[in-house]
Each structure stands twice: as structure tokens, then as C-alpha cells.
Amino acid sequence: MILSEDHSESLELSKKAQKRMLKMARLEERKIERRAKEKATRKEKKIKRAEKIAAGEQVSENEGAQKRAKLNRVKEPFAARVVLDLGFDDKMSDKEIISLCSQLAYVYSINRRSPNPFRSLLFTSLNGRTLSRLEKLNQAGYKRWVGTEWWSEGYDRLWVQTLEEFTPRDGEGFGDATSKEDWAKDNIVEKSPEESLAVPVSQNRVVYLTADSSEILEELREGETYIIGGICDHNRYKNLCLDKARASGVRAAQLPIGRYLSHLSTRKVLTVNQVFGILVKWVETRDWELSFYSVIPKRKFQDRGRGREPTDMDFPAKTTVMEEEEPAL
């Protein structure tokens, strides 16, 4: 009996892997069906609304129009770049890859809805299963995310890419530097925030955010680049991002969570979108404590030893935990 190529490949998979593939296929089919129903519902609502207008009935502004108006309000972008380093594809399971891709969608959604979004949102080292997963979702919808950039190369392209084309101002030369790279590392700094978003950038103005660093990030600054490790590993890889930052020759720092949430037992296990949400909230408020309490879910504040639920005393006034809307991939 001659087996097809697809069939022969399926026989090589374990029963657990085959079940997982079937489950993913069913979920994808249900998603397509659900979106078709949502599209039909929206179409029906538009028809009914048009009929009411034609009949002279008063029609209130629909929810969709209100959301569009909210998104189109005047925004003041924060002139800094956030990089999502996706160079950990080989260190995650398929389930973690799926979770990471959802977190990336939340990152985009948070930035798009913020009154002070980061001006540049860059995704680097997009390869392997992460790329395959994003390509399958909503017909590669990530490519339509406004204000984002996607590289298959690593983030070091930021300061390597155009050094050959870059020269110092007339009459300056490279001084005591042993190479153009060394000169650029120390001198491509004096730029306005807008100019600093163009490559090459100075490695001195790049910060890799990792909880394993002993240095505390005191504030965010325009003109700087902040890297978030794009990995979903439940904190099982110690010093992974810290070692990568050191190998890249860039500064590493952690958010000052321990200063404000020392009692939080799981404070270091944050998702990619939670870290990004904290950065966005800080840009809006310039208040780290408010940013942490606004983004970190309330369930993390439970006293596991005594089963104590968080009270109003655990949260600053005028603060609500950020509710994440399901983003469109």
C-alpha cells in the first residue's frame, strides 16, 4: 500500500501529537465559523440601522463609531522605541508559542489604544514556529498592524546596519577609536528623539529589560530603545535575557517592581504584554507604583499563605486594573 506524504508524516507523530494537531485544527475551524457569524451579525445591524434612519427614527451613535472616535483622538507619541526580541523560538513549546503570539497582539493593541503610544514598535528575529503561527492567524494579519516593523534579523541590526554609510561630521574623524563601530558606540548619541529613531543608534541608549539584572530602571527617556524578551517560559530560563544583553554589549535593567510590590510573590513572572503595558502606563502617568497596580492582575496580589483577597487598601486611589480586550490578529 502506498501512503501519501501527509499520511506518512502523520504516522510518525505520537498519538499525543496527533491529538494536539486535531485539536488545533478544530479550534481554527471554530474561529473561522465564529468570525463568519460576527460578520453576519454586524451586517444585519447595519441593515436595521439603515432602515431606522430611512423611517425617520432617531438612531444613537453605535458602539463601533464611539470606539473609532476614541482611537482617532489626538495622541502625543512618546519618542522612544520598544523592541520585542523574538529570538527564543527554540526554547518554547508549541503551546507557549501560541501564548506568545497572543501576547504580541495585546502589545500592539495596548500601544494603539494609548494616548501616548511608543512611536516605534519593532519585532526582531521573527523566524521558525513563531513566524508560522503568525502567518496562519487571520491571513497574516500581523502584517497589517499600523506603526510596527518586523525583522527576521536580530536587534543588533539597529547599530550595525548602516555603519558603513555613516561618517562623522566634516573635520572630526574617528579620533582614538580603533574602529568605526567603537566610534559610533560612543558618539551616535547627540540626536533629537525623532532622529534617534533612525538607524544606526548608539548601544549606550539601548536597554534590555530583564528581572535578572541588578540595575533598576528609574525612568523611560525619549530617544532610547527598550528591549523586551519575547519568550513565554514561566521563568524557567535563569539569566537568559541578561546573558544575551551582555553578549550584545547593551545595558540591562529591571523594572522597579520590588521597590513598590515587595510582598508580591510572583512579581517577576510577568507576560510580555504586561511588561509593555507597564511601560505604556508609566509614559501616561510618570508613576511606577500606579503603573504596576494598573496592569498586574489582582489575582497576583493574593496572600497565598492565608488566602487573603486583595482589598481597596492594596490599590492606590483612582486606579483600576487594566482590562485587556481581545486583539485582532
Q: Which residues contact 187 (CB under 8 A, 6 or more apart)?
A: 168, 202
Q: Left (φ > 0), alpha (ψ -120 to 50) or beta: where does 313 sit? A: alpha
Q: Which helix (H) or strand (E) holds 225?
A: strand 225-229
Residue among 156, 233, 287, 314 flagged as catalytic: 233
Instruction: Check if 94 is active-site.
Output: no
Q: DSSP class of residue 169?
A: S
Cell numbers of 279, please? 511601560
* β-bridge partners, 301: none
- At residue 238's C-alpha, the angle toward residues 232 and 242, to 5°, is 90
**DSSP SS3 for 121:** strand
Taking the CA atoms of 180, 186, 190 and 194 in sequence, report the sign of the dihedral they define: positive
Per-state percent for the chain, helix, strand, coil, to nearest 5: 50, 10, 40
> Alpha-carbon distance 278 to 292, whole Å?
6
> Alpha-carbon distance 298 to 144, whole Å?
33
> Alpha-carbon distance 165 to 208, whole Å?
26
213, 255 contact by CB (below 8 A)? no
What is the residue whose three cell numbers read 513566524?
131
Number of other residues whose CB lies within 10 A of the CB of residue 293? 22
> Alpha-carbon distance 259 to 275, whole Å?
16
Q: DSSP class of residue 254?
A: B
Residues tagged active-site: 233
